[in-house]
Amino acid sequence: MTPSILPSKKSTAKKHVIAMDVGTTTMRACLFDGKCQLVAVAEEPIKLEFSGSDAEGVRAEIDPDLLWDQFCSVLRGVIDVVKDISSICSLGISCQRNTFICWNKQSGLPCHKFVTWKDCRARDECKRWNNSLTLKALNTFGGLLYFLTRQSRFKSARMFAFLSAMVTHRLMVTISQSPELQLLMKQGNLMFGCLDTWLIHKLTGGRVHITEPSNASMDWGRTLLSIISFPTSLLPKHTFTAGRPLASVDSHLFGINVEIGAVAGDQQAALFATGGWNKGDVNISLGTGSFMDVNTGTCPHASMRGLYPLVAWRFPTIYCYTAEGCAHDTALILKWAESIGLFVDVTDTSSMAKRAKPSDLCFVPAFGGIQTPINDYSACCAFLGIRPDTTKEQMVRSILESIAFRVYQIWDTVRKEVGFKLSHIVRCCGGVSANDFVCETVSTLINRPLQRIREQNFASARGIAMMAGLTAGLWNLENLPEMVCVEKTFDPIASQRDILLERFRKWEAHLKRCLHFYD
């Protein structure tokens, strides 16, 4: 497939940074100039392959050969826009997290397709472990130690549960079902990595096997990995997110001499792009999923209600953490609604929702279950309250409201848990944030101004470009604020808040009826 490239004219800027954004739905290469202005974009849709049944856990995979072809295609697309290729100073990569692959150490060939973060093959195995005496003992012991010491790491142990979105059990299930993987591991010829590791391995001609902290699931927590007998010998070496070059791209691949200056998870890169550099800063990313990331400074947050402590980024002199809550199906429910004819163009949905007559219709967005703060992967998706006179506008409104309600659930969890002041202004990005109705509803619910950044579709790419440019010395930390541009600010509508909160409470009651549906 030929990538879509804009613009087609040559760029004559003296310095360039290329940002590769490998998302769940789109493969994108973005070319930025020496002031971090977007110059060109090349992109292709990523094909997600679904198989299996609800009973056994739906599998969600990506063909690695096709993904690599697309990566090379869009990267060459923006390289061709540059008049002088020696002006390309750095390459940054942001990517979907918790998507992994195994390959043969000798041949370099993949042993299976990418197992994505949306894959549910380990659902039953996670449930078995969560009901095991081992994990119950860990929870009890963690609770006791937290009571005695008040150290937050023990609070995490008290509430810890395995989720199918984590790499650990999906990898172990994949290995247990493959004699080939078992033999290669026994021979010491099995290589493993998440998407960042595999891309760096490919870009360096197989010379480098590393990962960076924001992409390392559970920060390679050795205690938990030892409890479940995870094969830790497979884990790649840790490095920095940015601040010094991670590796050099094999010049034979694209005809350029360039270093990989930054690698980060997509949501962490988006937090960086929206200016979330200080403790208490919040970014809401509305794309494939809805993600809320809160900068927790130099300390990870131990959650009792399903927020996950993650590394935001690691520079040679800076280590920053984030607490993250998520809802997985944001873009999927809109694509589904379009596929069944509720609307023709997604850009029409905001006006459709505003035209809808009041109704008691509710939508529960749970194709992949309900995540933070409930974490029920057996919940079902549902419309509740459909009547003979229900209109498409009302159905669209209930879908958009459900996106905002899930964001508010996560916000309420964050607000009650973090124990420090959150920024008065919250920022948002991602394709779905282009929907004014969703942004207005979120702003009113959280009772804070919500700022939508410019070029919201490219937040992850911009964030990783900002990091890569820091590594290359194109700019410094003091230059970063001028790179964050706000497109529109949504202020809370005080007269509507009580009405919205009442609808939210009714929606939460309907949500409870959809939990544990597939158990």
pLDDT tens for each residue of 379-435: 999 999 999 999 999 999 999 999 999 999 999 999 998 889 999 999 999 999 999
pLDDT band at 91 (very low <50, low <70, confident <90, very high): very high
The C-alpha atoms of residue 3 and residue 71 are separated, in whole angstroms, by 10
Domain of residue 424, residue span: 330-433+496-512
Output the DSSP codes for 463-511.
HHHHHHHHHHTSS-GGGGGGG--EEEEE---HHHHHHHHHHHHHHHHHH
The model scores a pTM over 0.85: yes
The C-alpha atoms of residue 171 and residue 163 are separated, in whole angstroms, by 13
The pLDDT of residue 219 is 46
Tell whether omega for the bond before 45 is within 30 degrees of 0, i.e. cis: no
Single-letter residue type at 238: H
Asked if residue 460 is part of any domain, the answer here is no
Burial 54-65 (b: 16+ CB within 10 A, else e): eeebbbbbbbbe
Give yes or no for a contact between 16 and 468, defined as CB atoms under 8 angstroms apart: no
Asked if residue 485 is part of any domain, the answer here is no
Mean pLDDT of the chain: 92
The C-alpha atoms of residue 80 and residue 396 are separated, in whole angstroms, by 41
The C-alpha atoms of residue 363 and residue 511 are separated, in whole angstroms, by 8
Nearest-10 Cα torsion for 290, 294, 300, 301? -80
The C-alpha atoms of residue 455 and residue 82 are separated, in whole angstroms, by 21
Residue 406, domain CATH: 3.30.420.40
Asked if residue 382 is part of any domain, the answer here is yes
For residue 196, with 0-12 CB atoms within 10 Å meaning exposed, 13-18 middle and 19 or more buried, which class applies? buried
Asked if residue 166 is part of any domain, the answer here is no
Give yes or no for a contact between 328 and 289, defined as CB atoms under 8 angstroms apart: yes
| 518 pLDDT higher than 90 | no
For residue 388, with 0-12 CB atoms within 10 Å meaning exposed, 13-18 middle and 19 or more buried, which class applies? exposed
Burial 282-303 (b: 16+ CB within 10 A, else e): bbbbbbbbbbbbbbbbeebbbb
Question: How many CB atoms lie under 10 A from the CB of residue 8?
Answer: 9
CA 174 and chain centroid, separation: 22
Question: How many CB atoms lie under 10 A from the CB of residue 358?
Answer: 9
The pLDDT of residue 56 is 72
pLDDT tens digits along 119-136: 989 988 888 888 888 777
pLDDT band at 159 (very low <50, low <70, confident <90, very high): low
Helices and strands (H, E) in the chain, number of each type: 16, 23
The C-alpha atoms of residue 363 and residue 396 are separated, in whole angstroms, by 9
- The total number of structural domains that make up the chain: 1
Asked if residue 194 is part of any domain, the answer here is no
The pLDDT of residue 150 is 67
pLDDT band at 146 (very low <50, low <70, confident <90, very high): low
Asked if residue 257 is part of any domain, the answer here is no
Three-class SS state of 405: helix
pLDDT tens digits along 206-260: 999 999 999 985 545 677 787 788 888 899 999 999 999 999 999 999 999 999 9
Asked if residue 414 is part of any domain, the answer here is yes
| 507 pLDDT higher than 90 | yes
Asked if residue 395 is part of any domain, the answer here is yes
